[in-house]
């Protein structure tokens, strides 16, 4: 393992519920009262894909997107790093692992996150929805990250919080570990989508010795499958 690709919203920053509220207010402003629970399940997708689930009129959808940006800009200062998110990034960088941020977040939001996470000098790069034609769950974000990192899929791993992260990673041959801090999906849903491990948050991920111990565990799982002696290897 030499490249770690990390989602931001719901994985490193506590922003998902703020996004839900910003979207709910945006939809309500144009006359659509969308249940917040339904919006929450769509967080992590690109904005247009999220909007298309609830509004088909393109002009109305553009208005909703603009309103979300305005509402979220006021809410963003209420966000903060999730447990041990900064420590995880610092630790990975100290181990000479290249950390890339790959997110559906808009460029206007990214500078604040980089400042809050204190990673301007340590991350290898940032890929946002502006850099690709299609946002998650399409694999474009991760494909571009692999290209810029000069990394093969088997040399990298994704850390995310939604099934959209996992689907995007699956689309380009990357493995994914998931955290539950996004709040939109259960452990079972994340595992069924293809996450190879699920943790409560970045603190548990860090305490588990990620990624070295994960590699060791996966090798043990593979060997156990081969010998027919697979025990309980899951968290």
Query: End of a domain among 60, 78, 96?
Result: 78
- Alpha carbon 15 to chain centroid, angstroms: 11
Q: Are residues 125 and 221 in the same domain?
A: yes
Token pair for 170: 């699956």
| Cα 189 to Cα 197: distance, rounded to the nearest angstrom | 12
Q: Which residue is it, tokens 């998110």?
A: 85
* Whole-number Å distance between alpha carbons of 178 and 196: 8
* 232 occurs within a structural domain: no
Ramachandran sector of residue 183 (left: φ over 0; alpha: ψ -120 to 50; beta: rest)? left
* Count: domains in the chain: 2
What's this model's pTM, rounded to 2 decimal places?
0.89
* Exposed / middle / buried, residue 3 (Cβ in 10 Å: 0-12, 13-18, 19+): buried
Residue 224: its pLDDT value, please?
44
Domain around 189: 3-13+80-227
d(CA 233, CA 55): 43
Q: Residue 148 in contact with residue 125, Cβ under 8 Å?
A: yes
Are 98 and 3 spatial neighbours (Cβ–Cβ below 8 Å)?
yes
d(CA 79, CA 210): 25
Contact between 183 and 40 (Cβ < 8 Å): yes
> pLDDT digits over 14-62, tens only?
999 999 999 999 999 999 999 999 999 999 999 999 999 999 999 999 9
- Tell me: do 90 and 206 sit in the same domain: yes
Q: Domain end: 78, 107, 127, which one?
A: 78
Domain membership of residue 43 (yes or no) is yes
| pLDDT tens profile 79-128 | 999 999 999 999 999 999 999 999 988 888 899 999 999 999 899 999 99
Whichever domain contains 33, its CATH number is: 1.10.150
Averaged pLDDT score across all residues of the chain: 91
């Amino acid at each position: 393992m030499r490249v770690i690709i990390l989602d931001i919203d719901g994985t490193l920053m506590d922003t998902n519920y703020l996004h839900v509220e910003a979207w709910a207010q945006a939809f309500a402003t144009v006359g659509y009262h969308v249940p917040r629970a339904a919006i929450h399940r769509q967080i992590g997708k690109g904005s247009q894909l999220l909007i298309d689930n609830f509004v088909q009129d393109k002009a109305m959808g553009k208005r909703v997107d603009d309103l979300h940006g305005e509402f979220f800009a006021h809410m963003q200062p209420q966000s903060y790093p999730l447990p041990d998110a900064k420590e995880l990034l610092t630790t990975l960088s100290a181990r000479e692992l290249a950390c890339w941020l790959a997110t559906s977040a808009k460029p206007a939001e990214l500078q604040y996150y980089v400042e809050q996470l204190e990673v301007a000098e340590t991350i290898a790069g940032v890929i946002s929805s502006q850099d690709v034609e299609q946002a998650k769950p399409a694999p474009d974000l991760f494909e571009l990250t692999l290209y810029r990192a000069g990394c093969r899929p088997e040399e990298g791993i994704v850390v995310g919080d939604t099934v959209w992260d996992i689907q995007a990673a699956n689309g380009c041959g990357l493995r994914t570990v998931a955290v539950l801090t996004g709040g939109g999906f259960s452990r079972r849903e994340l595992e069924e989508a293809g996450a190879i491990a699920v943790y409560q948050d970045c603190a548990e991920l860090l305490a588990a010795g990620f990624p070295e111990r994960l590699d060791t565990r996966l090798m043990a799982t593979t060997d156990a499958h081969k010998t027919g002696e697979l025990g309980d290897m899951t968290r």
